[in-house]
Amino acid sequence: MQSFLHYRMDLNAMEENYRQKNRTCFILGASGETGKALLKEIVERNIFSKITLIGRRQLTFEDKAYENLVQNVVDFEKLDEYAEAFQGHDVGYCCLGTTKAKAGAEGFVRVDHDYVLKSAELAKAGGCSHFHLESSKGADKTSSFLYLKTKGQVEAEIEDLGFERFSVYRPAVLLVDREESRPAEWVAQKFLGAFSSVFPTMSIPITVVARAMVVNTLKDGEKRVEILENKAICNLGDKK
């Protein structure tokens, strides 16, 4: 209990210290599950002076806590025409992604590689100093699996852009209560969720990933490029 209170006090101090820096951020993929959880975490902690959502459509929010959000609607097929949307942000969060099942192989690569990389390029050109990327456990540019290869390739190419700080998150199976009904996925999540605390390399609640991204933002980076595997994400995000 004492260690938890000490952690909470440290986190509060980190938040206040970060708040004083008057920094701004943007979020890509705020309509997705991780993006939603991340946005909620950021809004509740109130650590940024300005939060911008960049996406293909305008999002609606009932909670008044979201009323000061700035939203920039872009066409990801013509991102160069929307370079202004990426200018003037200190921190960028990319939770953009789709699946091969949903978009097909070509569509998956276009979103998870092309859109992500172009967004990172524009963010770097626009002055972003700390870029966060939600990737995947097993990401490897030399993999024979399209999904893992694509994730690994975009990680490497964004690293080459030379951000002052680049944070990569490689979560395992994401545990989330989706709005749509997916019976098979629900069963798998219930099974993995029961063992998530015992075997933290198998799965991770999506709220823990979001919290880890925010807590990591508050910390001073020890390295220019940091890759957080699933266990490290759990350790960072399991405290409220």
**Is residue 102 among the annotated active site residues?**
no
Above 70 in pLDDT, residue 9? Answer: no
192 pLDDT tier (thresholds 50, 70, 90): very low
Percent of the chain scoring above 90 in pLDDT: 78
Catalytic residue from among 36, 124, 137, 151:
151
How confident is the prediction for the chain on average, in pLDDT?
88
pLDDT in tens, 47-58: 999 999 999 999
Q: What string of H, E and C letters represents the secondary structure of the chain?
A: CHHHHHHHHHHHHHHHHHHCCCCEEEEECCCCHHHHHHHHHHHHHCCCCEEEEEECCCCCCCCHHHCCCEEEECCHHHHHHHHHHHCCCCEEEECCCCCHHHHHHHHHHHHHHHHHHHHHHHHHHCCCCEEEEECCCCCCCCCCCHHHHHHHHHHHHHHCCCCCEEEEEECCEEECCCCCCCHHHHHHHHHHHHHCCCCCCCEEEHHHHHHHHHHHHHCCCCCCEEEEEHHHHHHHHCCC
pLDDT in tens, 98-128: 888 888 999 999 999 999 999 999 999 999 9
**Is residue 151 among the annotated active site residues?**
yes
**Range from 9-18, 144-153, 227-236 carrying the lowest mean pLDDT:** 9-18
Mean pLDDT of 164-181: 80
Catalytic residue from among 118, 147, 149, 239:
147
